[in-house]
Structure 1
Amino acid sequence: MKSFNNDWPLVSIVSVNWNQEQLTREMLDSLSHVTYPNLEVILVDNGSTKGDASRLKAEFPHIRFLRLEENTGFAGGNNAGFRMANGKYVLLLNNDTLVDPHFLQPMVNTLECDPWVGVVSPKIYFVDHQNTVQYAGTSEIHPITSRGQKYGYRQRDGEQYAKSGVTGLANGACMLVRKRIIDTLGGLPEIYFLYYEEHDFTVQLQRHGYVAYYQADASIWHRGSSSTGRGSTLKAYFYHRNRLLFVRRNQRGMQYLLALAYLFGIAYPKAFLSYALSRQWAHIRAMASALGWHLSRADIRPINRMFVPTR
């Protein structure tokens, strides 16, 4: 699959597998049909305890394979792959995705044509409802709720989602990033382990003067929550923990106080009530553990917001 075509910059595709051998196999098979002429594929096995991911290396001999002895989380696994990347651009691609053969060219063109764009994400559909949108860009992250509105989420695709443009957040299932930005920021913030990493990464990228971009002419399909499971206690733990972590790392002053008031006055009580009404006691314990984690992390401070041009 790797080709040295001087007309197109090298793209390093990094994907992380954790106990998902068959899904990863399907993703790699879809990548084998990609028409972009100059790429390398790096597969990181993140301490899997099920299956034998080394079989994938035998089945797809063109990939570069790295096995980690323990699960270092979404950020840690991807960062290990980033360190192996030789490309001008690095594509973070979830292992539970399927790609259109032509998805890369429009994304690369965006970065080649506009030096202000730091990260590009494609239009993303649900695998099980192939014309239903999962991602078509977002609003900016709201400083109080720490969330952005997802455009097109669970809507049938249409002309309203066919326009490319600057967006609030990249999507962690598939995002093409300039390698020098990864080097400048130090990769994804590993303190999150799982969830909210791309939020934090996009915000730091924007503080360095770049923008995130939604490329409607590129498309992939994504299952979502394949490693953790939909509605799992693991997902609940990291979601609640990391939402507050994002606030602590990225808000200051009055916005910080308002964000805390929103989380503890509205968001967390609402989640607690929802879990209680549905008798999801394990989820309540997970949320309590998530918030308890913060009691032992007084060292977390807001990230320096100073603008440092890197282009």
Structure 2
Amino acid sequence: MFKHGAKVTQILHLWNNIVTTELSIIIVNYRVYPYLDTCLQAVSTALSTLKAEIIVVDNDTDEAKQTILATSFPLVQWICLNQNIGFARANNLALKKAGGKYVLFLNPDTSIQPNVLKEAIQYLTSNSKVGAIGVQMIDGKGRFLPESKRDQPGLLGAIFKLTGLAALFPHTAFFNSYALGHLDQHQIHTIPVLAGAFMMMPTALAKKIGGFDESFFMYGEDIDLSLRILQQGFENHYLGNLTITHYKGASSKQDPAYLAHFYGSMIIFVEKYHHLYGGLMGVWCLKMGIRFTAWMAYFKKKIQ
């Protein structure tokens, strides 16, 4: 009788956790344990008033370093892998386990302010038409990261970005349309594309659309997910009143093939969304531009 009662209590406890969990935070780590440590510290502070779970997918696990962090953060659920399966696939692996009402895809090389998670959840709860939200991101030196808010990639915007004209005229709607340079970074805006470094949405929606497209190993998958959310009839909102720090590129620097992943993802995206680029000729021109830019990047890296 006692054993039966204990079993019922355990089941009720597990059910209560599932029902009341407000947020599932998914973090994909790849060889950036010091950044992950800082990230988890900030997240733990921000979760002091929230019922949440944290799931870390550790690509190509360093067992010794992972054990240290697991000891420091005993409530974190770990999925330890012996290889790097990529950002999209790793996130989807954790999404299957997520039990929160909302899910946050968060990069390990980020640090969030204590108010960000609570206010982000409140915003989503109050705006049923919103499918996903992102926030203002700054780098380690306090500089605004323009990928915080983006338009869907079009042919002209892509050309201006590849040629450097967007960087020369960062606050114009014409030359820097891709990064929506004309929109105030501190305000709230309805935008097409959010950054995967911080993307929060209802878990049910994320699972309905199948999470990230695993064709993208790394890069481009956040743009694709943003557009598929729009296709479901929802809006993506940029919350410029909430800020996080993103130490951009920490994981990429650990992967010698990151340039191949980056430009390869651009090609995959162009082929998948060819209708955005004016037909076969536009797609061909853009793919040639991407390959030329990739070649220049490889050459620059070799001579450094």
Q: Normalising to structure 1: TM-score of the pair?
A: 0.77
* Alignment match, 1:133: 144
**Counterpart of 2:248?**
224
| Whole-angstrom distance in 2 between the partners of 1:275 and 1:77 | 27
Structure 1 residue 48, shift from structure 2 partner? 2.0
Please tell me the residue identity of whatever aligns with 1:235: Y
Identical positions, percent = 22
Post-superposition shift, 1:213?
0.8
Structure 2 residue 70 is the aligned partner of structure 1 residue 45: no
Instruction: Measure, in 1, the Cα distance between the counterparts of 2:128 and 2:301.
Output: 51
* Separation (CA, whole Å) in 1 of partners of 2:279 and 2:49: 44
The partner residue of 1:189 within 190, 196, 213 is 213
Q: Distance in 1 between matches of 2:239 and 2:52?
A: 19
* 1:150 aligned partner: 179
Contact kept in structure 1, 2:88 and 2:221, CA below 8 Å: yes
For residues 273 and 97 of structure 1, the distance between their equivalents in structure 2, rounded to whole angstroms, comes to 29
Residue ranges of structure 2 left out of the alignment (5+ in a row):
1-15, 162-176
Q: Do 1:123 and 1:133's aligned partners in 2 also have CA atoms closer than 8 Å?
A: yes
* CA gap 1:152/1:48 in 2 versus in 1, 3 angstroms: farther
What is the aligned-residue RMSD (CA, Å)? Answer: 2.9
Contact 1:134 1:152 survives alignment (8 Å):
no
**Residues 79-98 of structure 1 correspond to what in structure 2 (within 5 A)?**
79-98=92-111
Q: Structure 1 residues 50 and 166, CA, compared in 2 at 3 Å: closer, same or farther?
A: same
Query: Do the aligned partners of 1:11 and 1:89 also contact (CA within 8 Å) in 2?
Result: yes
CA distance in 1, matches of 2:210, 2:145: 28
Task: Find the partner of 2:291 among 246, 268, 289.
Answer: 268
Q: Alpha-carbon deviation of 1:265?
A: 4.2
- Determine the structure 2 residue equivalent to 1:58: 71
- C-alpha displacement at 1:202, in angstroms? 0.8
Confirm or deny: 8 A CA contact 1:12 1:42 kept in the other structure.
yes
1:195-214 to structure 2, matched below 5 A, reads 195-214=219-238
User: 168-177 vs 44-53, which deviates more?
Assistant: 44-53
Partner deviation per Cα, 1:200-222 (whole Å, 9 max, x = no partner): 11111111111211012221101
User: Which residue in the other structure is 1:303 paired with?
Assistant: none
Tell me which residue corresponds to 1:309: none
Instruction: Tell me which residue corresponds to 1:21.
Output: 33
Paired residue for 1:302?
none
- 2:138, 2:276 → 1: CA distance? 38
AA aligned to 1:260 is: V
Q: Check whether the contact 1:36–1:104 (CA below 8 A) recurs between aligned residues.
A: no
Instruction: Give 1:76 shift.
Output: 1.3
In 1: Cα distance, 2:276 partner to 2:71 partner: 54
5 Å-filtered alignment, 1:290-305, equals none
Following superposition, the deviation at residue 49 of structure 1 comes to 4.2
Change in Cα spacing, 1:109 to 1:203, as seen in structure 2 (3 Å) is same
Q: Given that residues 11 and 88 in structure 1 are in contact (C-alpha distance below 8 angstroms), is that contact kept between their aligned partners in structure 2?
A: yes
Q: Shift of residue 57 of structure 1?
A: 1.4
**Bigger share in helix:** 2
- The runs of 4+ residues in structure 1 deviating greater than 4 Å are 143-148, 273-276
Greater Rg, structure 1 or structure 2? 2
Partner of 1:236: 259
> Equivalents in 2 of 1:18, 1:254: separation in Å?
33
Question: How many Å separate the matches in 1 of 2:52 and 2:31?
Answer: 25
What is the TM-score with the length of structure 2 in the denominator? 0.79
Tell me how far apart the structure 1 counterparts of residues 95 and 181 of structure 2 sit (CA, whole Å). 30
Task: State the AA in 1 paired with 2:207.
Answer: D
> What is aligned with 1:255?
278
Tell me the CA shift for residue 111 of structure 1: 1.4
Which protein has greater RCO, CA pairs closer than 8 Å, 6+ apart?
Answer: 2
- Residues in 2 aligned to 1:143 and 1:185: alpha-carbon distance in whole angstroms: 26
C-alpha contact (below 8 Å) 2:50/2:118 kept by paired residues: no
Q: For the structure 1 residues 70 and 265, does the alpha-carbon distance in structure 2 shift closer, same or farther, using more than 3 Å as the test?
A: closer
**Relative to 1, partners in 2 of residues 1:280 and 1:256: Cα closer, same or farther, differing over 3 Å?**
farther
> Size of the alignment, in residue pairs?
269
**Structure 1 CA distance for aligned equivalents of residues 289 and 269 of structure 2:** 17
